[in-house]
Amino acid sequence: MGVDFHIDYLQLLSPSGQLSDAAGEIARDAELLVWFHRAMTRARLFDAKAIALQRTGQLGTFASALGQEAIGVGVATAMERDDLLVPSYRDHAAQFIRGVTMTEILLYWGGDERGSDFASARADFPICVPVGTQVAHAVGAAYAFKLRKEERVAVSFIGDGGTGNGGFYEALNMAGAWRVPVVVVVNNNGWAISTPRALGSAAETLAQKAIAAGIEGLQVDGNDVLAVHQATHKAIEKARDGGGPTLIEALSYRLGDHTTADDATRYRDPEIVRAEWVREPVGRLRTLLVARGFWSKEQETALLKDCGEEVDRAVASYLATAAPSCDSMFDNLFATLPASMLRQRDEARHYAPTPGGRHD
Amino acid sequence: MTEITLVEAIDLALGHEMARDPTVVLLGEDIGVNGGVFRATNGLQARFGRERVIDAPLAEAGIAGAAIGMAAMGLKPVAEIQFSGFIYPAIDQMINHASRLRHRTCGRLTCPMVLRSPCGAGIHAPEHHSESPEAMFAHIPGLRVVMPSTPARAYGLLLAAIRDPDPVVFLEPTRLYRLFREEVVDDGEALPLDACFVSREGRDATVVTWGASHAEVMNAAETLTNRSVEIEVVDLATLKPYDSETILKSVEKTGRCVIVHEAPRTAGLGAEIAAEVAERALYSLLAPVTRVTGYDVVVPLSRLEKQYMPSVERIVGAVLKSMEAA
Ligand SMILES: Cc1ncc(C[n+]2csc(CCOP(=O)(O)OP(=O)(O)O)c2C)c(N)n1
Ligand SMILES: [Mg+2]
């Protein structure tokens, strides 16, 4: 007995901005398309600013999503407010749409735990750095939704490299075995730091890893926000209706360094990166918007100004945030700090410098 | 003679041993073309090829497990875990297999592997990049745990770890990677495992420490000299099995013992050393044994990490307090 399989690939908007007939309704929704453009532009400007802050010693290590904005935006716009996002560390484009603020993301990468205490998006999980560990959280959360008969779906992100991790395989297998309402989105940006996709796995697609877990898997053009949105929307609504989990492999490209701590020129030919710019997501959507008469030069200028100001306000509020107190190391460690730890807290207080001064 | 950093000393030792012993192989994430995220394997893939310097998939449990298989079959793998915050899945393999393969097969199969990983706080790294997990490994019977504190010790101890017939967990403090340079002769001379180093002699108090805290203790020693207190600094170096004799001899001389480590306090290795001193040198003590450690908290993100790590001020404070007694 053999098992044949086929992995679907969805692209609605080509790199040159040509729309496929399969796009359907979404292509006529000017408001939604402009929203996509706005959200991707915000993320891109935020990334540029965050890198600049890091370069000037005002932010810690930062992972930019340059070139992968369509994934976060396409996925988050397909979610309902009550759905749950379980992100990785490169998913702020999605998190912004969920209501996480730019200031919060800056605080996190600036070394301040308060960046994970989201003022809205109260249920969403914080950024996850240990690769692969987050997917099981989404599966468990989805199990809780199913048990309580809540019509909520959990959505998790992981990278191409992460799909080689045991945590990913275990979680995907559980998702299938339990048939829970979860959608896992792989941001296949071609690289796991310096490790190219081909060295990470001999599988022809990453989506096919779903087959072994007994769930649906498909590929989308991750630089096509329409395709990402449509595929995710379908998967989420299927999960909500009890149709089980889906794995979506979004094919994109990491146009920047892995993080600000990385120097990709050590292992990657800049020529390849230059060539990849042809496929990046923002320009192709703008081409479509302009062609359809949904977008003008003036609107673009106004948008850039708007987003730039929004980022600047977030940076100002980040920089103005007073340093955390040494007590915060002990706060929220337990519901109540055990009495046996009070002496340690006193010692920390005794040696604490007077608060203030953002960077030491 | 060249002065090199600790991370260069690691690279030098790996290169030396790979050239000397064709069974030595390296595996880990981004250790090849990229030379490791800290450059501890810089240039080694170009020198020894992709078959001996393996860019592994992102799978810590798999990396440790594969190293065990390689070791049992006659290779000498040196596996790198990129950051100690991601070492936990590998602990399963280290506890259930690496540490006991020799014992459970009555010596038929052995596991001469090294599991290297950066550790510790103090370089403004992101979340999960600053942990100090040495006590967890020290609690595993059958494992050696080593943490160097200077470039020369890193070079000599890493050579010893690779040549050792049993598994060694080799933890490298990131804060020391580029903190200072030291002359290191690439002579292939290993330093002894299971032995402390007395980094500084002194008559008044013994300070036992290891890893990055060693640098703070050495600075504290200068401050204390100005206050006419001379501390003896013992670098534990091999954390398990550790050399209690050197510690006891020192405490018998000074009558005072302060232990300094960055890892959390409770069930940290400081507790083990304090207990050993209490059991075997109590009557030599002039003051209670004290500890200066990280607190029992999640190692904070970068803005507070300085307040978490044992500072020179805290160390000086603890030694002076010890001097007040008796
Ligand atoms: C379990 C684990 N191992 C190692 C790391 C260090 N690390 C951070 S990102 C990364 C590569 C991840 O690549 P991929 O999954 O493709 O995601 P990308 O960064 O490309 O978005 C590595 C090895 C980590 N964070 N977690
Ligand atoms: Mg990737």
Sequence spans of domains, chain A: 8-321, 323-360
Residue with tokens 């600013």: A49
A131/B30 Cβ within 8 A = no
Q: What is the pLDDT of residue A353?
A: 87
pLDDT of A359: 38
DSSP string over A170-228: HHHHHHHHHT-SEEEEEEE-SEETTEEHHHH---S-STTHHHHHTSEEEEEETT-HHHH
Residues B195 and B238: beta-carbon distance below 8 Å = yes
**Cα–Cα distance, A165 to A134 (Å, whole number):** 11
Contact B167, B142 (CB under 8 A): yes
Q: Ligand 1 atom closest to Cα of A129?
A: 25
Distance of CA B187 to the CA centre of its chain: 22
Cα separation of B129 and B133, whole Å? 11
Instruction: Identify which of A134, A193, A194, A197 to mutate to test ligand 1's pocket (most ligand atoms within 8 A of the CB).
Output: A193
Longest dimension (CA), chain A: 72
Whether this model's pTM surpasses 0.95: yes
Pairing of strands B238-240, B144-146: antiparallel
**DSSP summary character for residue A323:** P
To test the contact with chain A by mutation, choose from B45, B51, B301, B308 the residue with the greatest count of A C-beta atoms within 10 A, namely: B301
Q: What is the mean pLDDT of residues B8-23?
A: 98
Task: Judge whether A258 counts as a catalytic residue.
Answer: yes
The number of beta carbons lying within 10 Å of the beta carbon of residue B46 is: 12
Do the Cβ atoms of A218 and A231 come closer than 8 Å? Answer: yes
Q: Which residues crowd ion ligand 2, with CB under 5 Å? A: A 159-160, 189, 191-192
Asked if B299 and B310 touch (Cβ cutoff 8 Å), the reply is no
- Top-level class of domain A8-321: alpha beta
């969403």: which residue's tokens? A124
- The SS3 assignment for B305 reads helix
pLDDT given at position A356: 43
> How is residue B224 written in tokens?
């204390």
First vs last C-alpha separation in chain A: 65
At B79 the three-state DSSP class reads: strand
Residues with a CB atom less than 6 Å from ligand 1: A 90, 129-132, 159-162, 187, 189, 191-193, 254, 258; B 29, 58, 60, 82, 86
ipTM, 2 dp: 0.96
What residues of chain B lie within 8 A of the CB of A166, using their CB?
A: 59, 61-62, 89
DSSP A226-269: HHHHHHHHHHHHHHHTT---EEEEEE----S-SSTT--GGGTS-
d(CA B179, CA A358): 23
Asked if A164 lies within 8 A of B58 by C-beta distance, the reply is yes
Cα–Cα dist B319/B326, whole Å: 13
When pLDDT is averaged across residues B13-21 and rounded to a whole number, the result is: 98
B151: which strand partners? none
Instruction: Give the DSSP H/E element, type plus range, for residue B101.
Output: helix B101-104
Q: Considering chain B, what percentage of its residues have pLDDT values greater than 90?
A: 99
Q: How would you class B253 by CB atoms within 10 Å of its CB: exposed for 0-12, middle for 13-18, buried for 19 or more?
A: middle
Contact flag A194-B296 (C-beta cutoff 8 Å): no
User: Is the distance from CB of B11 to CB of B46 less than 8 angstroms?
Assistant: no
> How confident is the model at residue A2, as a pLDDT?
77
Q: Looking at residue A10, what is its pLDDT?
A: 98
Q: Which residue, chain included where needed, has tokens 């250790």?
A: B31
| Contact at CB, A195 and B308, closer than 8 angstroms | no
Q: What is the mean pLDDT of residues B143-165?
A: 98
Type and span of the H or E element at B274: helix B269-281
Instruction: Provide the residue type at B119 as one letter.
Output: C
The answer to whether the CB of B270 falls within 8 A of the CB of B259 is: yes
Task: Select from A167, A103, A179, A173 the least CA-distant residue to A135.
Answer: A167
Task: Enter the tokens of residue B295.
Answer: 């607190």
The backbone torsions φ and ψ at residue B256, rounded to the nearest 5 degrees and listed phi first, read -140, 145
pLDDT of residue A1: 64
Distance from Cα A196 to the centre of ligand 1, integer Å = 12
Q: Are B39 and B219 in contact (CB under 8 A)?
A: no
Per DSSP, the three-state class of B114 is: strand
Pairing of strands B197-200, B231-235: antiparallel
**Contact (Cβ atoms closer than 8 angstroms) between residue A129 and residue B85:** yes
What pLDDT, on the 0 to 100 scale, is given for residue B1?
67
Q: Give me the count of residues in chain B.
A: 326
Q: Would you tell me the crossing angle of helices B244-254 and B269-281 to the nearest 10 degrees?
A: 60
Phi-psi region of A166 (alpha: psi -120 to 50; beta: other; left: phi over 0): alpha
Catalytic status, residue A89 = no
Low-confidence stretches of chain A (pLDDT < 50) are: 356-360
Centroid of chain to Cα A124? 12
Strand, helix or coil for residue A336: coil
CB–CB of A78/A194 below 8 Å? Answer: no
Cα–Cα nearest to A129, from A71, A88, A101: A88
Residues of chain B found within 8 Å of residue A106, distances taken between Cβ atoms: none
Pair type for strands B168-173 and B114-119 = parallel
Q: Which residue of B has its CA nearest to A162?
A: B58
Q: What is the pLDDT of residue A42?
A: 98
Which pLDDT value is given to residue A357?
A: 38
A contacts of B174 (beta carbons < 8 Å): none
Q: Chain A contact for B306, CB < 8 A?
A: yes
Cα–Cα distance measured from residue B113 to residue B98, given in angstroms and rounded to the nearest whole number: 8
DSSP A102-120: HHHHHHHHTT-GGGGS-SS
* Matching residue, tokens 């990166």: A273
Residue A267 bears catalytic tag: yes
Dihedral sign of CA atoms B109, B113, B119, B125 in order: negative
Q: How far apart are CA A92 and CA A65, in angstroms?
A: 8
CA distance B213 to B171: 13
pLDDT tens, residue by residue, B29-57: 999 999 999 999 999 999 999 999 999 99
- At B117, the pLDDT band (50, 70, 90 cuts) reads very high
CB A86 within 8 A of CB A154: yes
